[in-house]
C-alpha cells in the first residue's frame, strides 16, 4: 500500500508562472477533479476489516448492558470492542499533561458524559455487517438528568480562555468611561452551538506491524497527532506513520486526534488486522469538537463626537463536564476599536456535551458578530454612518496593549470595499430601501480581523545533481492550497522553476510542519521552507564561491543570487553557473539544507500583528414572510503578502460564506430534556447551499509587513468569517429595523 505523497502527476493545465504571487491553479487540482485524490477512507489495505462505532443516546449516566451476543451473531461480525476487551493503553485517556492534550473517550469505563460518545466498536468483514452489528448492541443505560443550555449549570470564571488568555482583562476605568459618556448602549447577543461538519467525516485506516503503526487519517497537525498516538500506545513517535495527503475539510475539527480515530487504531490492535473506521455524519456531533454557544453582553459609551469612552464585552460560554476549552469570544474587543477603557471577561458553565474545540476563527467569529452588531448599534445611537463611526474609532495602536501594529491597511480595506460596494449612497435610517419587487433591502458592514499567528515548523530541502530540487515538510492541505502555495514558496526559495521542484508533504515521516490552524500554516511552514531553501542555496553558494574553477569564485555567499536553477553574481549577472554544474564539479549527488519557521520573539514583543478587512453586505428580506437572502457581499482584506491570489480569494470566499452561515443558518438544536442534538444531520443542520450565496467579491489589498516574518505572510483562512457575520446581521437590521440579538436570525424574529 504505497501512497505517493508527492504530486508527480502532471496537472493538465498551463503554468502561469512559477513563484510567489502567481495565481497558479492547484497542483493537486487534477487529482481532485478526476476523483483520484486519495482521502483517508479511500484506502483499503489487504485483509482490512470495517469498524463502526456504537454511540450513546444519553447525555449522562452509564451503560448498563450491551447485547454483544446479538452483535456477534450477525453474520460477518468479527469482534465487538467494549471496555471489557479494549486493548490496554500506556496512559489514561483522561490524563491531561498540558492544555492542548484533550481528554478522549476510549472505552476507559462504562460512563457516558455526552450524547454520541463512543460506547463500543463493532468490527466486521463488511461495512454493512459492522453497521448492523452496532445497531444490534441495543444498549441499556442508567440515565442521569442532562445539563443543557447556557444556564444549565453553575457559572464560574475559567482559569484561561482560548489558548490560555486571561479570562478577565481590563484597561482603564470602564465604569467611569460609561459614566462620562454622552451616549450609551448595552446589548446582549446569543449564538448557538455549531459543528464543523467538514464534508469528509473523520476516518482512519490503521494497520499494525509489530509496534509499527501505519495510519491513513486526516490531520491538521501530523506531528501532534503522532506524538499523542505514540503516547497513548507507549511506542516511539517515529513508529507512528501517518499519511494525510488530503483532508476533506478540517476547520479545526481535525486539529487534535479525536477519540474515534484512536478507537480505529485500538480496533486494529484488537483484531490483528487493518481496520477502517469512518464516523457516520450523525456521530460527528459530539466527539470531534464544536463551537460552544455563547451569550455576550456589550456595553459601550460614546462622547459627543462618537468616540468610544468605554467598551465592555462579557461572554458566557460553555465547556464539557470533563475538559476545558473556553471560546475566547470577548477577546475580539481587544484589537479593533480605540477606547480609553476596555474590559473583557468570560464565564462558563459545564454541560453534558462533547468538549468544544477550535472551530474556524474560535472566539474571533463568535466575538466578532456581537462586537460588530454592537458597534452598529452604537453608531446608530450616535446618529452616525457605521463606516464613519468605525473610522472615528480607528485604532492606530492595539487598544488593549498599546503596541504598534506591524502593519495595518484597514483604512484601505474600508475605502476599497466601500467604493466597490457603493456604500456612500446608503440611507442612515433602517427600513428605507426597497427593491423593484418590494423586498426590504439593507446594507450592513463589519470589520474583519484575525491575529497573524506563527507556530513551529521544519523543512528539508535538497538540490540534486540533475539540477532539480526536493522540498519536504509534513504540511497539511485541508483545502487552503498547501500543495500549491508551499511549492511556490519552495520554488522561490530554491531558485527553481516550480516544475523542477518535487514538493512532498502530508506525512508524519516528513519534517514537522506544525499545525494547519490559526491561519498560521502558510506563514509557519512557509518560513521553514523558505529557510530550508536558503540553507541549501547557501551551501551550494559555498561550493561555488569557494572553488577557483567557478565563475562565482570569490563572490562570497552574500554576493550570489539564485534563479532559474542557476547561481549568479549579484554584481555581475552575466557570470553564473547552473546548480548541476556546481554539484558535478563537487562530485555530489545532492546537498541538503534544513530550515525552521517560528515567530520572532523580539517582534512578537514589540508589535501587534493582525490581518484586517472590511466586509459589506446587502440582504433582501421578504417584508411579510421574513425570509432572508444575502444578495451581495464585498470584502477587502489586507493580510500581508499573498502567495497565490487565486487560492487566497477562495479562502476569503469560504470564510465569508461561513460568516453568512453564522448569521443566518447554523445551529445545533439540543433537546432541553435529553441533551441530544435533534438535528445531527445535514438536512436540518443548515449550512449554506449554492443558492444561498449569490454574489461574492473579495478584494486583495496590498500590504507589506516587514515584521511578521521574512516573507511578510499573515494568514487568510479565518479572517473572512469575522466581519461578514456582523455585516449580514447589520444589513438585516438596516433592511428591517429589527436588531438581531440571537443567531442564526430566524424568520419569527422578523415577522413583526
Partner 1 sequence: MRDFDFIRPATISDAIAAAAGPGSAYLAGGTNLLDLMKGGITSPERIVDITRLPELNRIETLDDGGLRIGALVRNADLAHDPAFAKAYPAVAEALLSGASAQLRNAATVGGNLLQRTRCSYFYDTASACNRREPGSGCSALGGENRLHAILGWSDACIATHPSDFCVPLVALDTVVEIEGKEGRRHVTLEEFHRLPGDTPQRETMLEPGELIVAVRLPAEAASFAAHARYLKVRERTSYAFAVVSAAAALVVDRGKIRGARLALGGVAAKPWRARSAEAALLGADADEASFVRAADAALADASPSGDNAFKIELARRIVVRALMAAKAGTPERMPALPASPFSSIPGVRHDA
Partner 2 sequence: MTSKTTIPVHLDINGQRHTLELEPRVTLLDALRDRLGLTGTKKGCDHGQCGACTVHVDGERVLACLTLAAQAAGRTITTIEGLAREGELHPVQAAFLEQDAFQCGYCTPGQIMSAVACIREGHAGSDEEIREYMAGNLCRCGAYPHIVAAVRQAALEAAS
Question: What is the Cα–Cα distance from 236 to 372, expressed in whole angstroms?
Answer: 48
Cα Rg of the chain (Å, integer):
27
- Which CA distances in Å does 508 have to 45, 104, 514? 19, 21, 10
Closest CA to 396 of 445, 339, 450, 451: 339
What strands lie across the sheet with 294-302, from one edge to the other? 168-171, 342-351, 308-320, 294-302, 183-191
The nearest distance, CB 201 to partner 2, in angstroms, is: 7
Q: Is 338 in the site for partner 1 (CB under 8 A)?
A: no
Judging by beta carbons within 10 Å of its beta carbon (0-12, 13-18, 19+), is residue 246 exposed, middle or buried? buried
Binder of residue 127, out of partner 1, partner 2, none (CB less than 5 to 8 A by kind) = partner 2
In the bound state with partner 1, the residue whose beta carbon lies nearer, of 56 and 317, is: 56
The nearest distance, CB 413 to partner 1, in angstroms, is: 17
Cα 138 from chain centroid (whole Å) = 37
109, 157, 627, 704: which one binds partner 1 (CB under 8 A): 627
Buried b (16+ CB within 10 A) or exposed e, 480-491: bbbbbbbbbbbb
The contact pattern for partner 2, residues 475-514, with x = CB under 8 A and - = no contact, is ---xxxx---------------------------------
Contact 301, 178 (CB under 8 A): yes
Question: What is the Cα–Cα distance from 241 to 260, expressed in whole angstroms?
Answer: 18
Segment (H or E) for 112: strand 111-112
686, 700, 738, 741: which one binds partner 1 (CB under 8 A): 686
Q: What is the DSSP string of 359-410?
A: -SSTTHHHHHHHHHHHHHHHHHHTT--HHHHHHHTB-SB-TTT-PBBS---H
What are the strands, taking DSSP E only, across 192-293? 203-209, 212-216, 240-243, 275-278
CA-based angle 578:16:492, to the nearest 5?
40
135, 381, 538, 586: which one binds partner 1 (CB under 8 A): 135
285, 326, 421, 658: which one binds partner 2 (CB under 8 A): 658
Q: Is 148 in the site for partner 1 (CB under 8 A)?
A: no
Site residues (CB under 8 A) for partner 1, limited to 51-90? 57-58
Q: Which stretch binds partner 1 (CB under 8 A): 224-232, 636-644, 663-671, 726-734?
A: 663-671
> Would strands 560-563 and 628-638 be described as parallel, antiparallel, or unpaired?
unpaired
C-alpha cell read off for 201 = 467525516
What strands lie across the sheet with 572-578, from one edge to the other? 560-563, 566-569, 572-578
15, 238, 672, 702: which one binds partner 1 (CB under 8 A): 672
97, 305, 396, 437: which one binds partner 1 (CB under 8 A): 437
125, 173, 502, 692: which one binds partner 1 (CB under 8 A): 692
In the bound state with partner 1, the residue whose beta carbon lies nearer, of 75 and 606, is: 75
- Give the residues across from 352 on adjacent strands: none
> Would strands 275-278 and 49-55 be described as parallel, antiparallel, or unpaired?
parallel
Q: Is 3 in the site for partner 2 (CB under 8 A)?
A: no
Q: Is 403 in the site for partner 2 (CB under 8 A)?
A: no
User: Phi and psi (nearest 5°) for 360?
Assistant: -10, 110
In the bound state with partner 2, the residue whose beta carbon lies nearer, of 231 and 688, is: 688
Q: How many other CB atoms are found less than 10 A from the CB of residue 429?
A: 11
Q: Is 8 in the site for partner 2 (CB under 8 A)?
A: no
In the bound state with partner 2, the residue whose beta carbon lies nearer, of 39 and 394, is: 39
Binder of residue 665, out of partner 1, partner 2, none (CB less than 5 to 8 A by kind) = partner 1
Q: How many other CB atoms are found less than 10 A from the CB of residue 33?
A: 12
Question: What is the Cα–Cα distance from 39 to 477, expressed in whole angstroms?
Answer: 11
Contact 218, 517 (CB under 8 A): no
The nearest distance, CB 459 to partner 2, in angstroms, is: 23
User: Phi and psi (nearest 5°) for 714?
Assistant: -100, -90
In the bound state with partner 1, the residue whose beta carbon lies nearer, of 134 and 308, is: 134
The nearest distance, CB 489 to partner 2, in angstroms, is: 19
Q: How many other CB atoms are found less than 10 A from the CB of residue 531?
A: 24
Q: Is 36 in the site for partner 2 (CB under 8 A)?
A: yes
69, 573, 671, 704: which one binds partner 1 (CB under 8 A): 671
Q: Which stretch binds partner 2 (CB under 8 A): 20-28, 54-62, 337-345, 557-565?
A: 20-28
Q: Is 416 in the site for partner 2 (CB under 8 A)?
A: no
Q: Is 678 in the site for partner 1 (CB under 8 A)?
A: yes
Our answer to whether residue 667 is catalytic in this structure is no
Q: Is 29 in the site for partner 2 (CB under 8 A)?
A: yes
Segment (H or E) for 133: helix 127-136
Q: Is 201 in the site for partner 2 (CB under 8 A)?
A: yes
Closest CA to 588 of 530, 547, 619, 645: 547
403, 557, 622, 742: which one binds partner 1 (CB under 8 A): 622
In the bound state with partner 1, the residue whose beta carbon lies nearer, of 100 and 141, is: 141
In the bound state with partner 2, the residue whose beta carbon lies nearer, of 268 and 541, is: 268
Question: What is the Cα–Cα distance from 732 to 372, expressed in whole angstroms?
Answer: 13
Q: How many other CB atoms are found less than 10 A from the CB of residue 385?
A: 19
Q: Is 138 in the site for partner 2 (CB under 8 A)?
A: no
In the bound state with partner 1, the residue whose beta carbon lies nearer, of 238 and 673, is: 673
| Cis status of the peptide bond prior to 744, with omega within 30 of 0 | yes
Q: Is 571 in the site for partner 1 (CB under 8 A)?
A: no
227, 681, 741, 746: which one binds partner 2 (CB under 8 A): 681
Q: Is 690 in the site for partner 1 (CB under 8 A)?
A: yes
Q: Is 251 in the site for partner 2 (CB under 8 A)?
A: yes
Q: Which stretch binds partner 1 (CB under 8 A): 90-98, 154-162, 433-441, 598-606?
A: 433-441
In the bound state with partner 2, the residue whose beta carbon lies nearer, of 27 and 314, is: 27
180, 297, 321, 650: which one binds partner 2 (CB under 8 A): 650
Closest CA to 325 of 57, 44, 96: 96
- Give the residues across from 596 on adjacent strands: 458
Binder of residue 588, out of partner 2, partner 1, none (CB less than 5 to 8 A by kind) = none
> Cell 458566557 identifies what position?
316
In the bound state with partner 2, the residue whose beta carbon lies nearer, of 61 and 655, is: 655
Question: What is the Cα–Cα distance from 429 to 31, expressed in whole angstroms?
Answer: 51
Closest CA to 663 of 162, 192, 149, 150: 192
> Of 415, 558, 718, 748, which is the active-site residue?
718
Site residues (CB under 8 A) for partner 2, limited to 53-82? 70, 73-76
Binder of residue 371, out of partner 1, partner 2, none (CB less than 5 to 8 A by kind) = none
Binder of residue 126, out of partner 2, partner 1, none (CB less than 5 to 8 A by kind) = partner 2
Question: What is the Cα–Cα distance from 115 to 353, expressed in whole angstroms?
Answer: 7
In the bound state with partner 1, the residue whose beta carbon lies nearer, of 114 and 208, is: 114
In the bound state with partner 1, the residue whose beta carbon lies nearer, of 170 and 697, is: 697
Q: Binding-site residue total for partner 1 (CB under 8 A)?
A: 45
Binder of residue 622, out of partner 2, partner 1, none (CB less than 5 to 8 A by kind) = partner 1
334, 464, 676, 707: which one binds partner 1 (CB under 8 A): 676
Contact residues: partner 1, CB under 8 A: 57-58, 128, 131-132, 135, 435, 437, 439, 620, 622, 624-627, 629, 631-632, 664-665, 669-674, 676, 678-679, 683-684, 686, 688-692, 694-697, 746-748, 751
**Would you name the residues annotated as active-site residues?**
718
Amino acid at each position: 500500500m504505497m501512497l505517493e505523497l508527492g504530486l508527480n502527476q502532471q496537472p493538465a493545465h498551463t503554468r502561469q508562472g512559477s513563484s510567489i504571487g502567481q495565481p497558479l491553479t492547484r497542483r493537486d487540482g487534477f487529482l481532485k477533479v478526476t476523483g483520484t485524490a486519495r482521502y483517508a477512507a479511500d484506502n483499503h489495505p489487504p485483509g482490512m476489516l470495517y469498524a463502526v462505532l456504537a454511540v450513546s443516546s444519553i447525555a449522562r449516566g452509564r451503560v448498563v448492558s450491551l447485547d454483544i451476543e446479538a452483535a456477534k451473531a450477525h453474520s460477518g461480525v468479527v469482534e465487538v470492542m467494549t471496555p471489557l476487551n479494549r486493548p490496554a493503553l500506556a496512559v489514561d485517556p483522561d490524563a491531561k499533561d498540558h492544555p492542548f492534550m484533550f481528554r478522549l473517550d476510549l472505552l476507559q469505563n462504562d460512563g457516558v458524559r455526552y450524547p454520541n460518545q463512543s460506547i463500543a466498536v463493532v468490527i466486521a468483514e463488511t461495512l454493512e455487517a459492522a453497521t448492523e452489528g452496532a445497531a444490534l448492541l441495543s444498549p441499556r443505560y442508567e440515565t442521569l438528568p442532562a445539563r443543557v443550555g447556557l444556564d444549565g449549570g453553575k457559572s464560574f470564571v475559567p482559569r484561561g480562555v482560548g489558548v490560555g488568555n486571561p479570562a478577565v482583562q481590563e484597561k482603564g476605568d470602564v465604569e467611569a468611561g460609561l459614566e462620562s459618556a454622552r451616549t450609551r448602549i448595552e446589548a446582549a447577543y446569543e449564538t448557538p452551538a455549531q459543528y464543523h461538519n467538514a464534508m469528509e467525516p473523520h476516518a482512519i485506516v490503521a494497520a499494525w506491524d509489530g509496534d509499527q503503526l501505519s495510519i491513513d487519517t486526516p490531520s491538521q497537525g501530523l506531528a501532534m497527532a503522532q506524538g499523542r498516538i505514540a503516547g497513548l500506545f507507549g511506542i516511539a513517535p517515529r513508529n507512528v506513520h501517518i499519511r494525510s495527503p488530503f483532508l476533506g475539510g478540517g476547520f479545526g475539527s481535525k486539529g487534535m486526534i479525536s477519540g474515534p480515530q484512536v478507537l480505529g487504531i485500538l480496533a486494529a490492535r484488537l483484531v490483528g488486522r487493518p481496520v477502517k473506521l469512518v464516523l457516520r455524519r450523525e456521530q460527528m456531533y459530539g466527539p470531534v469538537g464544536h463551537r460552544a454557544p455563547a451569550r455576550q453582553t456589550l456595553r459601550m459609551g460614546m462622547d459627543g463626537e462618537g468616540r468610544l469612552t468605554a467598551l465592555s464585552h462579557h461572554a458566557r460560554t460553555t465547556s464539557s463536564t470533563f475538559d476545558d476549552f473556553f471560546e475566547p469570544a470577548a477577546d475580539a474587543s481587544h484589537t479593533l476599536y480605540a477606547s480609553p477603557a476596555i474590559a473583557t471577561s468570560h464565564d462558563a458553565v459545564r454541560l453534558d456535551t462533547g468538549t468544544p474545540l477550535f472551530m474556524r476563527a474560535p472566539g474571533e467569529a463568535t466575538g466578532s458578530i456581537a462586537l460588530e452588531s454592537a458597534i452598529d448599534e452604537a453608531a446608530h445611537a450616535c446618529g452616525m454612518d457605521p463606516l464613519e463611526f468605525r473610522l472615528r474609532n480607528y485604532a492606530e495602536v492595539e487598544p488593549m496593549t498599546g503596541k504598534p501594529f506591524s502593519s495595518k491597511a484597514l483604512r484601505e480595506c474600508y475605502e476599497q470595499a466601500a467604493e466597490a460596494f457603493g456604500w456612500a449612497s446608503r440611507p442612515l435610517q433602517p427600513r428605507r430601501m426597497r427593491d423593484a419587487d418590494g423586498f426590504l433591502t439593507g446594507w450592513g458592514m463589519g470589520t474583519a480581523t484575525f491575529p497573524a499567528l506563527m507556530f513551529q515548523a521544519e523543512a528539508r530541502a535538497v538540490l540534486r545533481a540533475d539540477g532539480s530540487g526536493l522540498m519536504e515538510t509534513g504540511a497539511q492541505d485541508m483545502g487552503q492550497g498547501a500543495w500549491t502555495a508551499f511549492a511556490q514558496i519552495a520554488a522561490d526559495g530554491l531558485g527553481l522553476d516550480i516544475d523542477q521542484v518535487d514538493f512532498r508533504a502530508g506525512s508524519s515521516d516528513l519534517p514537522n510542519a506544525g499545525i494547519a490552524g490559526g491561519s498560521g500554516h502558510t506563514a509557519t511552514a512557509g518560513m521553514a521552507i523558505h529557510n530550508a531553501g536558503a540553507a541549501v542555496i547557501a551551501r551550494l553558494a559555498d561550493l561555488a564561491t569557494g572553488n577557483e574553477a567557478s565563475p562565482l569564485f570569490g563572490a562570497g555567499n552574500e554576493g550570489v543570487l539564485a534563479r532559474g536553477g542557476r547561481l549568479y553574481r549579484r554584481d555581475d549577472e552575466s557570470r553564473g553557473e547552473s546548480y548541476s554544474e556546481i554539484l558535478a564539479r563537487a562530485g555530489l549527488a545532492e546537498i541538503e539544507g534544513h530550515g525552521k519557521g517560528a515567530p520572532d520573539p523580539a517582534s512578537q514583543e514589540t508589535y501587534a500583528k493582525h490581518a484586517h478587512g472590511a466586509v459589506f453586505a446587502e440582504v433582501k428580506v421578504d417584508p411579510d414572510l421574513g425570509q432572508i437572502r444575502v444578495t451581495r457581499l464585498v470584502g477587502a482584506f489586507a493580510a500581508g503578502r499573498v502567495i497565490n491570489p487565486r487560492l487566497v480569494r477562495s479562502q476569503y470566499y469560504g470564510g465569508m460564506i461561513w460568516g453568512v452561515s453564522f448569521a443566518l443558518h447554523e445551529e445545533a438544536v439540543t433537546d432541553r430534556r435529553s441533551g441530544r442534538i435533534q438535528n445531527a444531520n445535514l438536512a436540518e443542520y443548515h449550512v449554506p447551499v449554492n443558492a444561498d450565496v449569490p454574489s461574492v467579491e473579495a478584494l486583495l489589498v496590498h500590504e507589506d509587513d516587514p515584521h511578521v516574518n521574512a516573507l511578510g505572510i499573515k494568514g487568510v483562512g479565518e479572517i473572512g468569517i469575522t466581519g461578514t457575520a456582523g455585516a449580514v446581521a447589520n444589513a438585516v437590521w438596516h433592511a428591517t429595523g429589527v436588531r438581531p440579538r440571537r443567531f442564526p436570525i430566524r424568520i419569527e424574529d422578523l415577522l413583526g
